């Protein structure tokens, strides 16, 4: 009869692998977000704020 965890990596190794996978996924999502263009409505809002800040 085999044990349930036989042949599986130790818990510490499992945790490291899981953290590495999460890290890779977060980096991928972050890089994709950086590549997205800023919507025009945000650009307009920034321009308005800059204009108000220059008047003060």
Q: The tokens of 53 are what?
A: 């800040």
* pLDDT score of 3: 59
Identify the three-state secondary structure at position 10: coil
pLDDT digits (tens, 9 = 90+) for 1-14: 555 666 777 789 99
Ordered alpha helix ranges (H), the chain: 11-35, 40-55
pTM of the model: 0.50
């Amino acid at each position: 009869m085999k044990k349930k965890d036989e042949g599986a990596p130790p818990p510490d190794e499992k945790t490291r692998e899981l953290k590495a996978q999460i890290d890779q996924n977060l980096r991928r999502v972050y890089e994709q977000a950086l590549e997205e263009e800023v919507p025009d409505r945000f650009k307009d809002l920034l321009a308005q704020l800059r204009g108000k800040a220059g008047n003060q």
